[in-house]
Structure 1
Amino acid sequence: MTPSETVLASPLPGASDDAPPDYVRELEQAAHYLPLAQREQLHRAWAIGAAAHAGQTRKSGEPYITHPVAVAKVLADQGLDVETLVAAILHDTLEDTPLTPEAITTGFGATVTELVDGVTKLDKLQFRDRQEANAESFRKMLLAMSRDLRVILIKLADRLHNMRTLGAQSTEARRRIATETLEIYAPIAQRLGMNLIKAELQDLGFRALHPWRHAVLEKRIRTQPVMRRESMVQIEAQLAQKLAKEKLQHRLVSRVKSPWSIYSKMHAEHKSFTQVMDVFGFRIVVGTVADCYHALGVVHAAYKPLDARFRDFIAIPKANGYQSLHTVLFGPYGSPIEVQIRTEDMDLIAEKGIAAHWSYKHGGNTSGAQSRAQGWINNLVESQRATGSSLEFLENVKVDLFPDEVYLFTPKGDILALPRNATALDFAYAVHTDVGNHAVAARVDGKLVPLRNKLASGQRVEIITARSSAPKPQWLEFVVSGKARTSIRQQLKQLEHEDAVQLGHRMLDRALEAQATSLERVPAQRVDAFLHEHRYPRLEALLADIALGNRMPAQVAQALVREKAARQKTARVVEPIPRSEENILITGAERGVISFAQCCLPIPGDDIMGYHTTGKGIVVHRLDCPNLAEYRKSPDRWVAIGWDRKVTGDFPTAMRIELDNRPGALAQVAAAIAEAESNIDRLEYIERDTNISAIRFQIEVRDRKHLAEVMRRVRRLKVVLGVARI
């Protein structure tokens, strides 16, 4: 009998007529909504889990099985189905016990096995460090979430119970787990609309990271002044009376701020505790959507609303499905009154999110909150497929978990939700990856704006595209959404690879010309043999490696034409390959494989030579560069290059300008450079005394002719004593 079969065949812990432990009875009470037969499945799952975890204890000393049962209770409090609760009880068995997936499938079905596998960590794999292991675990969990959203519900419940029992961990572990909770799991709970779990995760994380601050704030909240409590009651009574007169059936509750929400607001808005607490919060829950707007009119009649502080999340729901009316009123005691108005269904979704309307309650129909959550997960799955590493993907997910969002309209009237500070380019990538890749500008409310333009809620955005347009590295400096960042990086890598392949092809052709042949004339079998010998999957990979300096083209050329010499019994010395006189022409736009030396800053029109650098490709130097003598020691790495006729763009160069130390002199020089259609990148003083300053200007020019024009304009200034290119 295998260990798994032994576990499944194990009798219930304790005698059959013994009452189950208290923690199991608490789970059964929380799952009272399930039929008797399904509650018996929970009992059987506990028995199997307890047998599988037999002898294992938590750091607190309790039997390990108490943890997964507590996780199941958290989910039962949310009203989840029996498969989710069983998977929660068994969620650590695959990782920590002999129980196998086959055994779980036999006992509870394939769905439970998939849920358990989705939350299983990857501790058995070898990673460089814990951070990468956590990131890879998160990536795996996300893929499981895309198949079944209940995976993340189990994971959130698991994290919540771990946070509730964090005291047994070391100080370092508490800080690490709390930080991860605040950065990843609490925002995910918020993104899925699960505000009750989100709020508790945030507060527990805050208490673990800053126990003293948490204790001080908690005490201040408990000991609020009597006057404030009386004011709260007075406002509540007045609102209730006004609503009752309008015959609105309602539930009115005051909202109490948590230590974390107070701390966050104090920190973000630089406010004192008194300023943050000097706000009265109420929630009004009514029967229908029409009642929500009716109630809004009632509260606005009772107290004057503050301008620009009204938000309608019923007409335009948040991305997590949250719906409510938000308004801020000017209160009778000089303090703002924050009021939220929603229906009972909206309140349920606001508290429990996607768990509020799980499919077992609706005969398998997916609710709006679930649809939005599934859409978000699917976008993340698409993003992770295009991401190079788990750590990069995890950073993109953190970006996507910004709590504040802007809501924008497409030309067709569809609504898109984007992170705070999103730009027109983020909007373009949200519409479609191809739209983003070929975007050139945008129209916001009919006005033409650049792609870096930040957007505000309610704006109508139209993206202008051009097939010739392609992503630029500078785009990464202003996009904020994870999808945009991932798509741009992927496209830039693809463009760099294409440029590297083209340049590598030209370099290898030049080297083969010296051997009186070409790549097309080299037998395909010989090329395939070389690729196989050096483990290249395709010829393109070899050509890219040549361009990046990881393989010397002359050596590759020798290997490809040395067929006869290889069959000779005695080795002979290979003669040096004469260099081809024909230059490789460059435009300067070759991404990732051509760079320009900072020591001499070459520009179009200069006589240049390329130096082949491992991993960097070709570094371009001027022929009069002072470092040339050092690089001549490696002649095999020199590449004969020249400027193509179609050179476009701006190139950095530097000038030394000597000028009088008189007020406004520097401004005159800057104006002259601008009039010559050049930009100043940076400047620094080389020498300075009471009368004369020598300043190094690094500017951008198109070519030598443009540089000469800039220097002429600067030289005409009376304050300038001398100009020279550095």
Structure 2
Amino acid sequence: MIPVETLTALVRSYNPQSDAGLIEAAYDYARKMHAGQRRQSGEPYFSHPVAVAMLLAEQKLDDATIITALLHDTIEDTLSTYSEVALRFGEEVAQLVDGVTKLTNLELSSVENEQAENFRKLLMAMSKDPRVLLVKLADRLHNMRTIRHLPLEKQQRKARETMDIYAPLAGRMGMQWMREELEDLGFRVLNPEARNSIIRRFLTLRRETGDVIAKITDDIRTVLTQAGVEAEVFGREKKPYSIWRKMEEKKEGFHRLSDIYGFRIITHSVGDCYTALGAVHQRWRAVPGRFKDYISQPKSNGYRSIHTTVSGRDGKRVEVQIRTQEMHAVAETGVAAHWSYRDGERFENPFAVDPFRWLRAITERFEGQEDEEFLEHVKLEMFTDQVFCFTPKGEVVKLPRGATPIDFAYAIHTRIGDSCVGAKVDGQRVPLWTKLRNGQSVTIIRAEGQRPQPSWEDMVVTGRAKAAIRRSLRSEQRATQVRLGREIARVALERVGKKATDKALEAAARRLGLEEADDVLARLGAAEMTGKELVATLYPELLRDAALPRASSDTAPVVIGLNTGQVARPAPCCNPIPGERIVGIAVRGKGVVIHAIDCAELGAYEDEPDRWIDLRWSEGQARADHVVRIEVTMANDSGVLGRICTLIGEQRANITDIVFTDRKPDFFRMVIDIEVRDMEHLTHVLTAIDADSDVAQVARFRQAQAVAKRTEPERG
């Protein structure tokens, strides 16, 4: 176990004003509280909070954060209380410990609760004081370093949670070194074969080429010395997970990857960064399309650096990052730079961003969304790298890699995104799905009355754009559902001699436990409720009096060819009606099922001719009580549904149900159940509907046509 003297000495090395006595008191208190507790490895449990405190001390953090690390499990796992911690170590530390405890409780309950809901609470807690997150990330890092002692199933669950949540959070907070280590530790658990394979390939490469990193590092130092630039140069192999991810993204083998080595040049000034860049490019050929200047256009998490890829020694491609000492501190520690020390003083790094800004913005922007959507959008915000594009006025818009002109439009303003109809990139008209690149100038073409299209959701990558599009589509869909629902309500109530007045619909809403009449209409328009159910809600006595016609499946049609005592019923797959040829299939215990002669279901009985019965309809005037289904594709425009319902009524056919099967911005497809006398009557109805200019297609609809997987035929 790490002794307290080692911890306090490390803290005093960067903060001589540190209160070593308070840190020692926290150390002793936590050791006493955790006495007798053991980790899965068998070690004393207290070794864990000390290790977490050391991780944070290595980041040169303030005393409150170090003490919080020592105490972070006391309130949760021991007899300690918030009041006692506040009394001994101050209110600031007590609040930080309480914040970490709440995050741990969310994590422990993630099996029982939705991960998305917990993640929303996690971000809300972090937005109050990001130091809570710093302690939690260090806690997770040490747990991942010692994860091998847990059962395999728990290892995999923790590793997946680390890859999905904690690693990208560390990256979004600017702590790139921690993100890389968390990803690699999770990769070791989730895909050990792939990780070991990459490590073996690195070993083979070293045997074949020697220490390439040392050679290239020396080359770079020589070039910088000749250019008069004082700088530190570091080289490294990329992490196994980083290599594997590139292999997956580019669909290339290890031997074809061009940037498995990375080098950093740390200078004393911004001017030296650009001088170093010129020296590197003068010595080695730059790889086109692999240059990024994050000094002139920083990332939103404060990251600043110049990235370039060159063909180095023996033609090997290597990535070179060039930055100043201050930029390097932000790149390594991210938001931790806000609480770090240098030369015994709190150091205000000019390149560090406000850690509160992103957390608060993200929680405010997606407030009120469903938990699953919130998690999706925040993940998008965390995982993405950035590109920088320009408005026609030269203003910079930061977007994630893979963003499209629609993302660009919504990044400027929701109103501009909603009314977007096209875009020009560098003066050329481009499709809206075009992926933007660094430095491009984008002009959005707008049109009044334009609304977001459903297809846009698949084109955008930013959470902001996705949220705005979904919000608009939901609003527009509801308006359409209300409009269609009003037509359905009118038809259903007129058939029983009633009117769909606002008062009647409000009464229906109260009885159904809905807030307003539009909620009833929206449910009707969304096929979540039928016209019959509306009538039953308002006038149940009319149903008891059989005011609504019954479906013909409840009555036996008059047919010739049955034996005495045989009962026949129409097959629901084809719903045969008088005027079309029919055949009966004998079903043991169920009488005879009547099919139309062209019904696809009859193929199941080809090898059983003894079950076939020759039937025909009786002559004479048929009643209009045979239910058939028709499918109508109509324009999505006001009044069209009403006209179709009127046309059906004019042909003396009753509508018993309407179900919308597909909704598009321009056309709707629906299935209507109607009662007709015979085939001639049905033909008149179809002809009348087909004549309407807003009807694209109308045809008889049979269940066998729509069901991809046919139900097993009844066997005798």
The whole-number CA distance in structure 1 between the counterparts of 2:341 and 2:320 is 33
1:551-566 equivalences under 5 Å are 551-553=529-531, 556=534, 560=538
Taking the aligned partners of 1:449 and 1:518, their CA distance within structure 2 comes to 48
Alpha-carbon shift at residue 475 of structure 1 (Å): 1.3
Indicate how the Cα distance of structure 1 residues 247 and 209 shifts in structure 2: closer, same or farther if over 3 A, else same: same
SS in 1 for 2:424: strand
Q: CA shift at 1:141, angstroms?
A: 0.9
Q: 2:91 aligns with which of 109, 121, 130?
A: 109
CA contact (8 A) 1:438 1:468 kept: yes
2:144 is paired with a residue whose SS is helix
Q: What letter matches 1:502 in structure 2?
A: R
Please give the secondary structure, in 2, of the residue aligned with 1:317: coil
Counterpart residue type for residue 547 of structure 2:
P
- 213 and 149 in structure 1: CA distance in 2 versus 1, 3 angstrom threshold: same
- The structural deviation recorded for 1:620 is 2.0
Equivalent runs, 1:34-53 vs 2, <5 Å = 34=15, 38-50=19-31, 52-53=33-34
- Who is 2:246 aligned against? 265
Structure 1 pair 608/345, CA: closer, same or farther in 2 (3 Å)?
Answer: farther
Q: Provide the rounded CA distance (Å) in 2 between the counterparts of 1:496 and 1:278.
A: 48
The 5 A counterparts of 1:169-208 are 169-208=150-189
Maintained 8 Å contact 2:258/2:316? no
Cα distance in 1 for residues equivalent to 2:654 and 2:281: 73
- Is 2:651 the counterpart of 1:589? no
Say yes or no: does 1:541 pair with 2:519: yes
> For structure 2, which runs of at least 5 residues remain unmatched after alignment?
551-631, 642-647, 683-687, 701-716
Residue 316 in structure 1 maps to residue 316 in structure 2: no
Partner of 2:9: 29
1:621 aligns with 2:671: yes
In 1: Cα distance, 2:84 partner to 2:114 partner: 27
1:381 to 363, 369, 378: 363
Contact 1:84 1:115 (C-alpha < 8 Å) held by counterparts:
no
- The structure 2 residue matched to 1:576, chosen from 528, 544, 547, is 547
| Alignment pair present for 1:370 and 2:353 | yes
Q: 2:315 aligns with which of 334, 341, 355?
A: 334
Q: Does 1:457 align with 2:438?
A: yes
1:429 deviation in Å?
1.9
- Within 5 Å, give how 1:266-281 maps onto structure 2: 266-276=247-257, 281=262
User: In the aligned structure 1, how far is the partner of 2:61 from the partner of 2:237?
Assistant: 27
The answer to whether the 8 A contact 1:87-1:113 is kept is: no
- SS, match of residue 385 in structure 1: coil
Superposed displacement of residue 173, structure 1: 1.9
Aligned pairs for 1:402-441 within 5 A: 402-441=383-422
- Inter-CA distance 407–37: structure 2 relative to 1 (3 Å threshold): closer
| Residue of structure 1 equivalent to 2:267 | 286
* Distance in 2 separating the partners of 1:608 and 1:575: 14
Read off the aligned partner of 2:11 and give its amino acid letter: A
| Alignment check: 8 A CA contact 2:265 2:321 kept | yes
Find the aligned partners of 1:227 and 1:549 in 2 and give their Cα distance: 68
Change (3 A) 1:280 1:202: closer
Contact 1:312 1:325 in 2 (8 A): yes
Displacement after TM superposition at 1:205 (Å): 1.6
The residue type paired with residue 381 of structure 1 is T
Is the CA contact (8 Å cut-off) linking 2:657 and 2:672 kept in structure 1? no
SS at match of 1:88: helix
Greater Rg, structure 1 or structure 2?
2
Q: Is the deviation greater in 244-253 or in 112-121?
A: 112-121
**Structure 1 residues 136 and 55, CA gap change in structure 2 (3 angstroms):** farther
CA change 1:574–1:401 in 2 (3 A) is same
Aligned partners of 1:459, 1:402: CA distance in 2, in Å?
22
Q: Tell me, in whole angstroms, the C-alpha distance in 1 between the residues paired with 2:113 and 2:289.
A: 44
In terms of mean alpha carbon deviation, does 323-332 or 282-291 score higher? Answer: 323-332
Counterpart CA distance in 2 for 1:501 and 1:103 is 58
SS of 2:423 mapped into structure 1: strand
* Letter matched to residue 424 of structure 1: P
Asked if the contact 2:294–2:306 (Cα under 8 Å) also holds between the matched residues in 1, the reply is yes
Give the total of aligned pairs: 592
Give identity over the alignment, percent.
35
Alpha-carbon distance in structure 2 between the residues aligned to 1:364 and 1:644: 79
Q: Could you say which residue in structure 2 is the equivalent of 1:17?
A: none
Q: Note the 1:604-619 alignment, pairs <5 A.
A: 611-613=657-659
Spell out, residue by residue over 1:296-317, the C-alpha distance to the aligned partner (whole angstroms, 9 max, x if none).
2222333333344332221122
- The alpha-carbon deviation at position 227 of structure 1 amounts to 7.1
1:88 aligns with 2:66: no
Kept after mapping to 1: 8 A contact 2:634/2:697:
no
Matches within 5 A, 1:520-531: 520=502, 527=506, 531=509
Aligned to 2:620: none
Report the Cα offset of residue 165 of structure 1. 0.8
Cα RMSD of the aligned pairs, angstroms, is: 4.5
Task: Quote how far apart the aligned CAs of 1:487 are.
Answer: 2.3
Return the TM-score normalized by structure 2: 0.71
Residues 262-301 of structure 1 show CA distances to partners (whole Å, capped at 9, x for unaligned) of 3333444444444548865432211111111111222233
Structure 1 residue ranges without an equivalent (≥5): 1-20, 566-570, 580-584, 595-601, 633-640, 656-726
Q: Residue 709 of structure 1 corresponds to which residue in structure 2?
A: none
Change (3 A) 1:518 1:397: closer
The change in CA–CA distance for 1:121 and 1:267 in structure 2 (over 3 A counts) is same
Cα deviation code 1:4-28 (max 9, x no counterpart): xxxxxxxxxxxxxxxxx63544443
Displacement after TM superposition at 1:332 (Å)? 4.3
Inter-CA distance 38–330: structure 2 relative to 1 (3 Å threshold): same
Q: CA deviation at 1:493?
A: 1.9
2:310 alignment partner, SS class: strand
